[in-house]
Amino acid sequence: DGEAAAVWNRNGVHTQVIGPQRLWLWFSTIRFLNRFTAEADEYIYIRHRDGREEVVRGPVSMYMNPAWHDEMEVRRAHHLATPNDCVVIGIHHQKQQQEQEKWTKGDGVKQQKECDWRIVTGPRFFFPEANEFYHEFNWSQLPEDLQTFRNGGRTMPSNGRRQVLHLNSQNFWKCSVPIRTVDGVALTATLTLTYSLVSVEKCLLIDDPMLVLVSGLLADTQEIGSNTVSSSQNDDNNNNDDDINNGSTKELIAKLRLASSFRALCEAASTYGFRIGDKIQVLGLQHTAEAQKMMERSQLEASSISNAIRKKTKQRELTQLAFEEKQRAMEQDAELKRKRALMDAAIDQECNELQLAGLERELVLQKKRLALEQLTIQQSDQSVLEFLKGLQHLGVDISALMTSVGGMELITHKVLKRSDTLEPFPAIQKIQLNEGNRMTEAKRRMASEQKQDE
């Protein structure tokens, strides 16, 4: 069991033998056959030698006999899990034999349709009939960067061939869209859109609806940019190009977040069976690479100018601080000199007052000393006068006493020496001088007499 063979005898008669059995062959040709087995969710596609096509649902097992079959293949049925899953089936019509008639263009002869389309939805396992075939969708993959597509690179990579479509399922499309505002500022907006397939019939009207969606999005962004003025200078000054909440771009952000701003995209999607979501997220809004380079150059120039201004300002501040410090030092020096002068003046005044007080004390002491000396002189004079008065009272002749040698010496050296006022009188000095001369003369005579005696 499990083997089969095709046998041709010597007369060329074909026989298919399915075992197990014993077969006696004589001048025959034998060819063992391949077995094809289909499970419950599979079917066997058969193309006969006469051109007929046949579909046999599983579970089943068959042998491919080259005498009867040109092709035999086990295929899996499409599992449509939900009511939103569907496939598009094409149906071939049997061509009826028609009499060949000569006709020319414009005779109004209408050709019959060779195939029709029907849509099969789930949930189910779908097995096609022999005259049915699956329609394959070969859509392009939605690009993430539309700048290349806008610059002429309109060839987009294929998203692969597929047969099953999913209705009303949310699909996300993240893309970077170029925008040029009225004042010529080139921006790149990063958007996230949602779209879903709602009508398969409309989708069949075009081979690749993704190209239409991309073209509609580019047309809408171009229109949005043509109605928007960008305050790029404020953005440059604030250096917040990546911040979508910057005040200078709020108007543009508000437009990009509204689905109503993308009229061409929504119309194209509706025409070919798609629906665009109501909410569009704006993930970023930046300047393009060229604009970014220009901005970086302008920022570098502005930065260099700002640094030069800052350097000049700092140098001026340092110069001002040095001048203020010098002025403060001069003021402090002047203040110190003024205080020193005041202190010196106060010290000089105090010294003068002390000197004046010392002079006053010295003057007082001098006066006291003079008074004491005067009193002493008066007392000494008084004692001399009393002495002389006492001699006179005793009857001594003062004149004779003072003219005698012994008396004069007594009066001059013993009595008048006590008085500082009476001693230097001229008369007394004259008497002293005469007495001295007489004494000197007497001594000289005595000396000469001694020499003579010798």
Would you call 207 helix, strand, or coil by DSSP? coil
Rounded to two decimals, the pTM is 0.55
State the DSSP string of 236-274.
HHHT-TT-TT-GGGHHHHHHHTBGGG-HHHHHHHHHTTE
Which residues have a Cβ under 8 Å from the Cβ of 218 and sit 6 or more positions away?
146, 149, 150, 177
State the DSSP string of 172-186.
EEEEEEEEE-TT--E
Whether 312 is in a domain gets the answer no
C-beta contacts of 355-364 below 8 A and 24+ residues apart: none
- DSSP summary character for residue 417: G
Domain match, 165 and 216 both: yes
- The dihedral sign for the CA sequence 94, 96, 100, 103: negative
Residue 142: HSE in the Cβ half-sphere, 13 Å Cα cutoff = 21
Q: E strand or H helix at 349, and its extent?
A: helix 289-393
How many C-beta neighbours within 10 Å does residue 217 have? 24
Whether 22 is in a domain gets the answer yes
Average confidence score pLDDT of the chain: 79
pLDDT at 241: 44
How many C-beta neighbours within 10 Å does residue 21 have? 8
Whether 243 is in a domain gets the answer yes
The answer, yes or no, to whether residue 153 has pLDDT greater than 70, is no
Distance CA 275, CA 262 (A): 12
Whether 120 is in a domain gets the answer yes
Whether 337 is in a domain gets the answer no
Whether 311 is in a domain gets the answer no
State the DSSP string of 285-301.
EEE-HHHHHHHHHHHHH
Domain match, 130 and 242 both: no
The model's pLDDT over 219-250, given as tens digits with 9 standing for 90+, comes to 888 888 888 776 544 444 444 444 444 545 77
The model's pLDDT over 90-130, given as tens digits with 9 standing for 90+, comes to 887 655 444 444 444 444 444 455 667 888 888 989 898 88
Whether 227 is in a domain gets the answer yes
Per mean pLDDT, which of 39-48, 256-265, 320-329 is the most reliable? 39-48
Whole-angstrom CA distances from 180 to 189, 229, 285, 294, 316 are: 10, 9, 12, 15, 44
Single out the residue of 259, 258, 232 nearest to residue 246, CA to CA.
232
What value does the mean pLDDT take over residues 250-255?
A: 82
Last residue of a domain, one of 255, 287, 319: 287
Please give the tally of structural domains in the chain: 4
The answer, yes or no, to whether residue 422 has pLDDT greater than 50, is yes
Range of the domain at 117: 78-93+113-135
The model's pLDDT over 350-369, given as tens digits with 9 standing for 90+, comes to 888 888 888 888 888 888 88
Domain match, 148 and 267 both: yes
| DSSP β-ladder status, 42-48 and 69-76 | antiparallel
Domain match, 128 and 259 both: no
| DSSP β-ladder status, 4-8 and 29-32 | antiparallel
Domain match, 131 and 225 both: no
Distance CA 54, CA 35 (A): 17
The answer, yes or no, to whether residue 5 has pLDDT greater than 60, is yes
CATH number of the structural domain spanning residue 207 = 3.30.479.30
Q: E strand or H helix at 43, and its extent?
A: strand 42-48
Domain match, 167 and 242 both: yes
The residues facing 126 across adjacent strands are: 78
State the DSSP string of 96-156.
PP-------TTS---PPPSEEEEEEESSEEE---TTEEEPPEEEEPPPSBHHHHHTT----
Whole-angstrom CA distances from 396 to 145, 153, 221, 393 are: 161, 168, 161, 7
Distance CA 424, CA 433 (A): 12
Distance CA 127, CA 54 (A): 12
Domain match, 72 and 84 both: no
CA angle 195, 197, 202 (to 5 degrees): 125
Domain match, 117 and 147 both: no
